[in-house]
Chains A and B, each alone.
Chain A
Amino acid sequence: MPIKIPLHELQKWLPLAFIAALLYLVLFAQNYFDATSQGAAGWGCLLLMIVLHKLRIFQRPPWRLVFMLLAGYMAIRYFSWRSLQSLIYTGPLDFIGMALLYLAEAYGLILLFLGMFVNLWPLTGRPTILPKDATDLPVVDVFIPTYNESDDIIRITVIAATQMEYPKDRLRIHICDDGGTLSKRAQPESMEAAWDRHLRLRQMAKELGVNYITRETNLNAKAGNLNHALNHTDGELVLALDCDHVPTTNMLQRTVGYFLADPKLFLVQTPHFFINPTPVEKNLVGVGNPNGENDMFYRTIHPALDFWNASYFCGSAAVLRLSHLMEVGGICGKTITEDAETAFLLHSKGYNSIYVEQPMVCGLSPESYDDYVLQRTRWAQGMLQMFIMNNPLFARGLSWPQRICYFNSCFFWFFGLARFFYFIAPALFLIFGLKIYHASGGQVVAYILPYVLSVLVIMDFLYSKARQPFFSEIYESVQAMFLLPAVISVCLNPHKPTFKVTPKGHTHANVSLNPLALTFLIIIVVNVIALVLAGIKWFEDPLLREVTLVTGAWCLYNFYLAMVTLGAFWERKQIRHFHRINVSGEIDITFPRLNYTTKASLTDISLTGIGFKVQVPYPLVSQERVFIDARHSDAFDMRGQDFHFEAKIMRLFPQGEEGNYVCGSELMLNREKYIEAVNYVYGDSERWLELWDKKSTSKGVPKMLWYFFVTGLKGTVRSAVMLFAQVSTPILKSLKGINFRLPSDLRKISLHSLFGQHMEELQVDTGHGLLLVKNTLLDAQANRRKIPRIGRSPAKSPIAANAEMDVKSNQPSSKVLNRRKIPRLVPKPAIAAGAKGDMQPGKMVNRRKIPRISPRPAPKADVVVGAKPGKMANRRKIPRISPKPTVGTVAGEGAGNNVESDKKKK
């Protein structure tokens, strides 16, 4: 009797049959085809991939799948050869090296296949679901957790949250402050700052009409903070925002509707969009207009995860359903990546997630390498904790694609180990003579080269939308060495890592080499030695020339990569608190002096000012007052809201034809206008989308390689010079007993002598400035910053921020100049100022330098009725006067409530 197989069963098993047949063919060729045929197959397939890569039709399924399968064939082909024919035992040490390298390669291959699986068909173009009736809209609690961020950052975020288009009666905004918890305010070492912060933020909440929530302790860090807030709110949905993540006005409009459509939906995640570059991006900016480092994750990987219903919570810019969240006890705190872990548990319970590929928050990346490494270490450790403790591949409740997606997300963080082996592998042979890779010249041509190139092609195919060629290599290299100990530490003790907050909004006054660069200097030196030895081996050991050639080329690549990576270790100046954003669009400009109104093209905007190009038939003058009429609609927003600002032109650059100017203006903002400015600058999600797209153009592989090379060489030389200077300065000082100072133009001279005109080409703005700044100007300003200054607050008030100007301007405002003069007049800043009683009310530095007279025990109460914003001296008196043993809840002024830890409430 014939067996009937249902069609859907057949469809399910058919791919497996195809895969089995393909594997059979690969192994067949391995056994039966000689190196020539193999080479022809490899290079033919590679050529086909390169050609197909250029065809648009291959970007979309089903042809996209064909392309990916070609890449898969190349990888399997290589790895079957590598596994079956290149592993030769030649000795115990050789074996260890060979095995480690093989494992590193296996890791890469697994990751390649996981990446291809995840990216089979990224889910884009999901229709937006809007509520049928506004009365259906659920109550949304917006949580803005803070810890030690500046007031300015929090203020902007809160203001933007209040500007979101959503019925006000269904929108509750909460500042969840972990920097002013009871325990912090009780501990002597943090008491003063915690009280200070607590009062400031409470005041800010009251002022902006939002709630302030804090708790007793800092248990479980951010997760604990959010859970505490969850226990004190009862909205149906929760919008989680990092305090530096400024939401656009349409954030809830775009996300809430999905919850109405799908009762099992627990998460709508949106991209994190950063206006400032990470340190790596910042230092590699000479390469062109690179995509943000996280663009790859949010523009390609997350839509791909979304396809498999595996888009997970990224800690911010996400809306969650409270009821589902509480089923797993709120935000999980077992790992230090509480967000992903929470999503993992909810997915395991069968709930769904959605990713909306439109940036609707604008945030800040870490500004320094230390912060950057800190953040990545946390991510790596957290995801590996999840990998070890939750074992995604065999977790119950998840579908197989979800398991693979989570496994991929966690497994990725082992890249530090793999990258480390790639760095040292060729040197092991060239320096120590370990035979860890066995391949003849023919096999290199037949297997290795086609595979390596095909990986480049497939990576470009998958991620070119969000990442330019070779950037992944650099990003991974930069992190690898520093993640290595963290990864090993987690593997040894998964429960050890603790949550560390990533500092945001830091500034750097000087260009400096981060000490972390030393690792890469060592790698460069090792590779140079290995290359020299490769040259010697070439002549001395002709029988090993093929291996020498392969390892030498590999070493050269490592050297190149380390060099480029080193170039990324320069901490560039970052003195701006409000990053300029390069935008396009039109505005109306009115010149009251000339009684002339015209249209101008936007070049950049920030909270402090607007840059534009304008044609005026009259001569313009500096400090000229103007009125600016702007609209979101000019910047691709459909709402068409009008904004009117008064500004002063601070910089003026005549351009080309007569009457053309590039202007930098400073906005004159009062409180209302400040809110309006926040709305104008941060409220338009289309603007972020536009910026995303602007960065997605590749410069082409050869040009990128050259730029990387120059950048790397520059970085290496600079690093060497700086290192020499840093080492030699104390020696010279001790020898001569004189106050040695590194010549200010040392760096400039050495670089100019080395690169000549390339310096000019490479020196571009930090991505947000108005103009290209010449090297000399940078140097001059950098030198100015070298003089130690005091009196600068890490966070400035909006008014102070208004007064800030672009330091790259060659016509600084008088305010800036005056402020800068202060530190120069004070040779010994801190104590001297305090001792002389040179207190300047309102200046943080002076406040900090006031010696504490009498440390007091921690106050038991932290809320006072009628607290008013005022001078610090007054505020400090409050807790001393009226300590309260228990925590109470007191209504503040206006619409906002100040809520503190009160378990009884729930």
Chain B
Amino acid sequence: MMRLHLDTDNSRTATTSAWQRQTSGRKNRTRFLLGCLLGLLISLPAMAEEILIPLQKLTPHSLIKLKCIGDTASLEIPVSDRWNVKKVTLNLHYISSISMIGDLSQLVIKINDVPIAQVKLNPLMPDALLAVNIPPQYLKPGYNKLGFTVAQRYSTTGCENPCSPGLWTDISMQDSSLQVEYELNPVPLKLSSIAKFLFDPKTYPEAHVNLITEDRSAENLTLAAITASGVARHYDYRKVTFGVTQQIKPGVDNIVIGRTAFMQQFLGPYQLSLGTVKGGYLKVFPLPDADGADNTHALVVVSGENFDHVKMAALTFTNISFAYPGTQELNAFEFRMPEVASYGGRDVLAANKVYDFKTLNYPTTTFQGINPVVKDLSFRLPADMLVLQNRFAKLTLNFAYGSGMRESSAMHVVVNGIAARAIWLNDKNGHVLQNYQIDLPTYLFKPGSNVISLTPELHPELKECDFTLMSNLFVSIFDNSTLIFPDMPHFVELPKLELLMLNGFPFTRWPDGYDSLIYLTDPSSNEAVAAALNLVGLMTQKNGFPLLNVRVGLQSLEKWKGDVIVIGDQRTMPDTLKANSPLHTSKTSLIPYPVVRGWQNETATLAHSRQMSALGEGSGLLMQFESPYQVGRTITTLSADDPADLLRLGEALLDPEVQGQIYGDMVLVEMTQPKFRVTSMLVGKTYATGKQGDVSWINSFLYSYPYAYYALLGLLILGLAFAIYVLLKRYRATRKLGEAQKKEPKKE
């Protein structure tokens, strides 16, 4: 393996790494050390931080493949407004084909489409490590496109096959990284910084927010949950963990929630004062600390004269999404939410609604050349959608394609990786087509995330050197193309914890969390509260809608008609729930052990052991089962043996790797390092739930128990046969004897 270093300032290649600096000479050593010490002391408050970002964290792919004679790929580097980037180094590991001609083949690295480095793809050194210094000024706050473009050639004479199998370069995302040195910018004392600065999804690698509440009443915890949901929503997909304390936590952003009286009492020691509080009240301060104030972090006050006002403030906080207001504080007097439809949320398609591609984030796109980049149309379907068989989603395409393409050219429509249809681009004169309708069978779709890929396969004429003339090979798909998805019932068989990880279902059936309750068995436990807020944040981010109507409850669950998340350690968990959980833990526990592991989503062959035991340290349990209080409603429990494990469990659920392994009704998470270990099982009883009215209880029953369906079918056939038989038998007797004989006795 060869390690390269590219200094972009002087375009020089070096064989030493950039981060290994050498000092000058021995003569200057003492002077240098003293200077360093002095500089350190001077710059201590603004000391640069360094972070290593594996590229795999920025893209879902572990490998970028660059094929053919020319190809490009890119990923986005988030740069938060909080960062003052000092230095960025890209460490790139790639392997290229040895079939290529080194002098003609090269890899170009671009930032925001500006080339910053070029390297020859040397067939003699196919496996290379490349270090590239990226000028910090090229990186703007926001998302910066890091692009890779290759020119790959294998012949200098005659015409090349542009997609010869020997033309490839693989860039490993696992082994490549970005090394960023940055300083934190001071927080602007404007409330608009909530959306664009403080809780910015470009924050890397993760965020931590500390919440302080007036007390542990249900009202205040509910407000904390709404606020946490708002924070999570601001962070969008970026992982955020919550902590809960009674005091300000230094080094992180803090949010304090409470009524005015409490707030004045709380802020007093820090010499901070509120303005005029009328209605809901929001204000942002530099984070006070022992030395005065940490202006790189903020203390956000969410307050009001009473709980309603505080809630109004929390809702306002949750929804601030652009650079307004530019003031440090605000008073909120009214907050109106739009009408919330059930099953809404991030990228969720509504049934029978015409979506144009533009709405679906698919602008007019042109695919050009022999190896065009595939673009996907991504959307989500409700997690509890019952995909009916043999219905069709209607895709109406408006597109144009170039002339002079070979008749074998086509455009494939691929649904979730399955080829659904192909459009033959067979007019050599090119064509513009409007309203090209394609029926996509609904069984190709699934609840949750779905992808429709339009993959052109454009072929030039097979004449000599045609491969070099490929500009005419193009397909443009216009953004006024549309997609309509048919109506489907909301009906799903639970428990399915994977749906919780998909979009927070069933607690996000109403996207604002209406009908959902978070029940804390021990509200005094900071860890339990933090775990609850982490889960709220998770559900918010998964569904893309703040849980503005979620409630935290502390009273008995028996009267609650909706779905419940129960969080607490095993000791404080209510017995009724223990008895109904898949583990049947009451005085003793009935532990199911799979004897023969079934397929995913299939009940395993289980042995049961009744024992008196405990979960143990370092483990947590996530379980789901039908509510013993309400048929068709769900209870999800998050528990561990001690509060610390409970908190760690809550944080573990934020890990995408853990989320990907969760399914069934019982998930055991072992908080081990470096990776969590997850065991998922389906061991308990199943039940069905859905949107009331869409799926009747009969349908629900028959769907859940297909054997009951067949039995009923048989019974109905038998019943009908015998009912007809009874009628016919009487009639037949009259026919056999003759009409006259039938009537004679009556006359007599």
How far apart are the CA atoms of A63 and B720 in the complex, in Å?
11
Chain B contacts with A in 705-721, Cβ cutoff 8 A:
706, 709-710, 712-713, 716-721
Stretch of B191-199, B382-390, B592-600, B672-680 that contacts chain A: B382-390
Contact assessment for B712 and A25 in the assembled complex, using a CB-CB cutoff below 8 Å: yes
The total number of A-B Cβ pairs within 8 Å is 113
How far apart are the CA atoms of A579 and B737 in the complex, in Å?
38
How far apart are the CA atoms of A38 and B732 in the complex, in Å?
37
Q: Is B462 close to A, CB under 8 A?
A: no
Chain B contacts with A in 38-82, Cβ cutoff 8 A:
none
Q: Is B735 close to A, CB under 8 A?
A: yes
How far apart are the CA atoms of A343 and B736 in the complex, in Å?
20
Contact assessment for A69 and B717 in the assembled complex, using a CB-CB cutoff below 8 Å: yes
Chain A contacts with B in 87-136, Cβ cutoff 8 A:
88, 120-121, 123, 125-127, 129
What sequence of 0s and 1s flags, for each residue 715-748 of chain B, a beta carbon within 8 Å of any chain A beta carbon? Answer: 0111111111111110010011111110000000
Q: Is B143 close to A, CB under 8 A?
A: no
Interface size on A, residues (CB 8 A): 53
Q: Is B702 close to A, CB under 8 A?
A: yes
A63 proximity list for chain B (CB < 8 A): 721
Checking A32, A69, A84, A309 against B702 with a beta-carbon cut-off of 8 angstroms, the contacting residue is A32
Q: Is A500 close to B, CB under 8 A?
A: no
Contact assessment for B741 and A262 in the assembled complex, using a CB-CB cutoff below 8 Å: yes
Checking A11, A85, A354 against B738 with a beta-carbon cut-off of 8 angstroms, the contacting residue is A354
Contact assessment for A85 and B390 in the assembled complex, using a CB-CB cutoff below 8 Å: yes
Q: Is B655 close to A, CB under 8 A?
A: no
What's the least CB distance linking A861 to chain B, in Å?
Answer: 48
Contact assessment for A73 and B443 in the assembled complex, using a CB-CB cutoff below 8 Å: no
What sequence of 0s and 1s flags, for each residue 19-34 of chain A, a beta carbon within 8 Å of any chain B beta carbon? Answer: 1011001001111111
Residue of B nearest to A69 (CB): B717
A262 proximity list for chain B (CB < 8 A): 738-741
Checking A62, A264, A443 against B722 with a beta-carbon cut-off of 8 angstroms, the contacting residue is A62
Query: Is chain A's binding surface mostly helix, strand, loop or mixed?
Result: helix
Q: Is A41 close to B, CB under 8 A?
A: yes
Interface size on B, residues (CB 8 A): 39
B727 proximity list for chain A (CB < 8 A): 11-12, 15
Q: Is B699 close to A, CB under 8 A?
A: yes
Checking A19, A66, A69, A120 against B728 with a beta-carbon cut-off of 8 angstroms, the contacting residue is A120
Checking A34, A85, A120, A352 against B724 with a beta-carbon cut-off of 8 angstroms, the contacting residue is A120
How far apart are the CA atoms of A309 and B729 in the complex, in Å?
15
Checking A15, A35, A120, A307 against B723 with a beta-carbon cut-off of 8 angstroms, the contacting residue is A15
Residue of B nearest to A37 (CB): B706
Q: Is A532 close to B, CB under 8 A?
A: no
What's the least CB distance linking A487 to chain B, in Å?
Answer: 33
Contact assessment for A65 and B725 in the assembled complex, using a CB-CB cutoff below 8 Å: yes
A28-B702, A28-B709, A354-B738 as given contacts; A34 in contact with B443, CB under 8 Å? yes
How far apart are the CA atoms of A479 and B273 in the complex, in Å?
101
Q: Is B467 close to A, CB under 8 A?
A: no
Checking B702, B726, B736 against A11 with a beta-carbon cut-off of 8 angstroms, the contacting residue is B726
Contact assessment for A307 and B739 in the assembled complex, using a CB-CB cutoff below 8 Å: no
Contact assessment for A306 and B735 in the assembled complex, using a CB-CB cutoff below 8 Å: yes
A14 proximity list for chain B (CB < 8 A): 719, 723
Chain B contacts with A in 526-542, Cβ cutoff 8 A:
none
Contact assessment for B709 and A263 in the assembled complex, using a CB-CB cutoff below 8 Å: no
What's the least CB distance linking B89 to chain A, in Å?
Answer: 49
How far apart are the CA atoms of A307 and B724 in the complex, in Å?
14
What's the least CB distance linking B702 to chain A, in Å?
Answer: 6
What's the least CB distance linking B735 to chain A, in Å?
Answer: 6
Checking B390, B713, B718, B738 against A25 with a beta-carbon cut-off of 8 angstroms, the contacting residue is B713
B712 proximity list for chain A (CB < 8 A): 25
Contact assessment for A261 and B740 in the assembled complex, using a CB-CB cutoff below 8 Å: yes
A352 proximity list for chain B (CB < 8 A): 738-739
B720 proximity list for chain A (CB < 8 A): 15, 18-19, 22, 65, 69
Residue of B nearest to A25 (CB): B713
What sequence of 0s and 1s flags, for each residue 360-391 of chain B, a beta carbon within 8 Å of any chain A beta carbon? Answer: 00000000000000000000000000101111
B717 proximity list for chain A (CB < 8 A): 22, 66, 69-70, 73
How far apart are the CA atoms of A85 and B390 in the complex, in Å?
6
How far apart are the CA atoms of A25 and B735 in the complex, in Å?
35
How far apart are the CA atoms of A15 and B719 in the complex, in Å?
8
Chain A contacts with B in 216-263, Cβ cutoff 8 A:
258, 261-263
Q: Is B466 close to A, CB under 8 A?
A: no
A25 proximity list for chain B (CB < 8 A): 702, 709, 712-713, 716
A307 proximity list for chain B (CB < 8 A): 732, 735
How far apart are the CA atoms of A531 and B728 in the complex, in Å?
49
What's the least CB distance linking A16 to chain B, in Å?
Answer: 9
How far apart are the CA atoms of A129 and B736 in the complex, in Å?
11
A11-B723, A258-B738, A352-B739 as given contacts; A21 in contact with B702, CB under 8 Å? no
B215 proximity list for chain A (CB < 8 A): none
Q: Is A61 close to B, CB under 8 A?
A: yes
A121-B732, A123-B732, A261-B741 as given contacts; A18 in contact with B719, CB under 8 Å? yes
What's the least CB distance linking B681 to chain A, in Å?
Answer: 25
How far apart are the CA atoms of A701 and B676 in the complex, in Å?
64
Residue of B nearest to A264 (CB): B739
Contact assessment for A28 and B740 in the assembled complex, using a CB-CB cutoff below 8 Å: no
A425 proximity list for chain B (CB < 8 A): none
Q: Is A643 close to B, CB under 8 A?
A: no
How far apart are the CA atoms of A107 and B709 in the complex, in Å?
30
Which residue of B388, B716, B720, B728 has the most chain A CB atoms within 10 A of its CB atom? B720
Checking B389, B422, B724, B728 against A32 with a beta-carbon cut-off of 8 angstroms, the contacting residue is B389
Q: Is A81 close to B, CB under 8 A?
A: yes
Contact assessment for B709 and A88 in the assembled complex, using a CB-CB cutoff below 8 Å: no
How far apart are the CA atoms of A70 and B699 in the complex, in Å?
22
What sequence of 0s and 1s flags, for each residue 641-661 of chain B, a beta carbon within 8 Å of any chain A beta carbon? Answer: 000000000000000000000
A543 proximity list for chain B (CB < 8 A): 422
Contact assessment for A41 and B710 in the assembled complex, using a CB-CB cutoff below 8 Å: yes
B736 proximity list for chain A (CB < 8 A): 123, 125-127
Q: Is A386 close to B, CB under 8 A?
A: no
A440 proximity list for chain B (CB < 8 A): 441
What's the least CB distance linking A293 to chain B, in Å?
Answer: 27
Q: Is A318 close to B, CB under 8 A?
A: no
B725 proximity list for chain A (CB < 8 A): 61-62, 65
What's the least CB distance linking B599 to chain A, in Å?
Answer: 15
Q: Is B289 close to A, CB under 8 A?
A: no
Contact assessment for A32 and B388 in the assembled complex, using a CB-CB cutoff below 8 Å: yes
A85 proximity list for chain B (CB < 8 A): 390-391
How far apart are the CA atoms of A164 and B735 in the complex, in Å?
28
A34 proximity list for chain B (CB < 8 A): 389, 443
How far apart are the CA atoms of A506 and B723 in the complex, in Å?
52
Contact assessment for B740 and A263 in the assembled complex, using a CB-CB cutoff below 8 Å: yes
What sequence of 0s and 1s flags, for each residue 384-425 of chain B, a beta carbon within 8 Å of any chain A beta carbon? Answer: 001011110000000000000000000000000000001000
Q: Is B439 close to A, CB under 8 A?
A: yes
Residue of B nearest to A125 (CB): B736
How far apart are the CA atoms of A265 and B441 in the complex, in Å?
60
B629 proximity list for chain A (CB < 8 A): none
Residue of A nearest to B419 (CB): A543
What's the least CB distance linking B281 to chain A, in Å?
Answer: 53
Residue of A nearest to B721 (CB): A65
A-B contact pairs, 26 of them (CB 8 A): A11-B723, A11-B727, A18-B716, A21-B716, A25-B713, A29-B709, A31-B388, A32-B699, A34-B389, A37-B706, A38-B389, A62-B722, A62-B724, A62-B725, A66-B718, A66-B721, A70-B717, A88-B439, A121-B728, A123-B735, A129-B738, A261-B740, A262-B740, A262-B741, A307-B732, A543-B422
A-B interface, 9 closest residue pairs, ranked by CB to CB distance from nearest: A18-B720, A62-B725, A262-B740, A65-B721, A85-B390, A66-B721, A14-B723, A15-B723, A262-B738
Query: Given A25-B709, A29-B709, 4 more contacts at CB 8 Å?
Result: A11-B726, A22-B716, A84-B390, A85-B390
A residues at B contact (CB < 8 Å):
11-12, 14-15, 18-19, 21-22, 25, 28-35, 37-38, 41, 61-63, 65-66, 69-70, 73, 81, 84-85, 88, 120-121, 123, 125-127, 129, 258, 261-265, 306-307, 309, 352, 354, 440, 443, 543
